[in-house]
Amino acid sequence: MSNTLNHPKECCGVFGVFGHPNAAELTYYGLRALQNRGQESAGIVTSNGKGFKHHHGMGLVKDVFTGRKIKHLKGKKSVGHTRYSTTGSSSIKNAQPLIGQFGSGEEIAIAHNGNLTNAPTLRGELAESGAFFQTDADTELILLRLGKARLTASNDVDALTKTLPCLEGAYSLALLTKNALFGIRDPFGFRPLVIGKKDDGWFLSSETAALDHVEAEFVREVQPGEIVMIGGDGLRSFRAFPEPHRHASCIFEFVYFSRPDSDFMGENVYEVRKRMGRQLAKEWPADVDMVIPVPDGGNGAAIGYAQELGLPFEMAFVRNHFSGRSFIEPDPTVRELNARVKLNLNKKVVAGKRVVVVDDSIVRGTQSKARVGTLKRAGAKEVHVRVSCPPHLHPCRYGVDFPDRSKLMAVRHDKSEICRLLGADSVEYLSLEGMVGATGIPMNNFCLACYTGLYLTAIPQSIPTA
């Protein structure tokens, strides 16, 4: 992540454990490994087969959970969540996993990665039927619809197959009952969800890297439109939708969101980013002395760019991994200081040099301009900017906080204007075809709506735009 003020945020990471005596501890470490996906709040719910124990808090996983709080979370089954809000306010009431209690007294905990595009419609229907809302998060709507379906369902799987067709948009879910753990993915597969195994325990995770952290073996991805049920008799699979949908996973997982040490759609994220950088160099080479990344998001693409052109790769920007979160301040001087605390320039590396700066994306452009200015003030002779994805022209509706269209730099300015506004000597973007080609996966398997504006579900006018 290059900077929280300049780069989009993903909504969250989910992690679940079934059948391991240290379920809470493993979930804690799984969430620590998924901290890249959300730094706003965290929660863990456990089950001992009789009832739930839970703890939620605002902030980073390591700050929310202490050893004493972890020991309180008894049970061999757990589900955890680390959040960044794209719908619902930033408050403890929206911290997940959310827990619902149904008429029978049974509890269900749910952790959600994604964004429901028909949330306004669902909320209106539920309100008309007398539903009482405790949060303003779209995840609660799934719980309430599930509770309604359970009134006529024969079992939990039946209730889920009645509920899921009512949902539109992106949802990868980890759902815990007192006796089972469910993994669920929307029919397009917008957001990732994978299955792991260690000894007799089963795991669900937003990324494979989190499985590595708990020394669990990757089994496979939860398929788009699939329900996996993990219980005492192992893993069982159910189809939630009778007709297959086109698969359309978010390509920005490769560009930016996923950890470089994760695998997604059968490809290693780091290797894909390097291939994107190589393709970027083929499309837009630069006559420079060195290649520098904007860490951490631009690292892989910058390495590929340098390798393709046979140029030196230098870590001129130094990232401070201990700076904590940067909260957006109204004063521009404070905003700039926050950015500098996170990322500092080693001036001697670039003084008198022609450099190409590789970044994963330019969204608003605020921090890109600051980086170019910093390089020029440090004595860089030329600063060329290369971006390892196409220009963002549309907001995401499926769980990423791309701003509304009017705030996207590439909407407000053409490429020559962007170059002038950034103060760069040149600015070039990887083509759509080049980006997708670097993944080795057919274009039809991706959601590209933030580049093309071709959304895969109906988008109500009232849907939040982050």
Residue 283 · residue 308 · CB < 8 Å? no
CA 358, distance to chain mean position in Å, is: 21
Tell me whether the omega of the peptide bond preceding residue 296 falls within 30 degrees of 0, making it cis. Answer: yes
* CB proximity list for 98: less than 8 A, separation 6 or greater: 109, 110, 135, 137, 139, 140, 143
Region for 283 from its dihedrals, namely left if φ exceeds 0, alpha if ψ lies in -120 to 50, beta otherwise: alpha
Which tokens hold the place of 3? Answer: 């900077």
Residue 350 · residue 376 · CB < 8 Å? no
Asked about 419 being catalytic, the answer comes back as no
How many of the other CB atoms lie within 10 Å of CB of 29? 17
Q: Which residue has the tokens 């870590």?
A: 315
Angle at which helices 332-342 and 366-377 cross, to 10°: 70
Q: Which residue has the tokens 């900017």?
A: 385
How many of the other CB atoms lie within 10 Å of CB of 261? 14
Q: Which whole-number Å values give the CA distances from 224 to 169, 185, 191, in the listed order? A: 12, 5, 9
Cα gap 254→270, rounded to integer Å? 8
Cα gap 167→42, rounded to integer Å? 24
Cα gap 439→240, rounded to integer Å? 28
Which tokens hold the place of 219? Answer: 């089994």
Residue 229 · residue 290 · CB < 8 Å? no
Catalytic residue among 11, 12, 250, 396: 12
Residue 89 · residue 140 · CB < 8 Å? no
Closest Cα to residue 274, out of 291, 250, 249? 291
Residue 395 · residue 402 · CB < 8 Å? yes
Partner residues linked to 228 by β-bridges: 183, 237
Which tokens hold the place of 250? Answer: 């978010």
Mind telling me the catalytic residues? 12
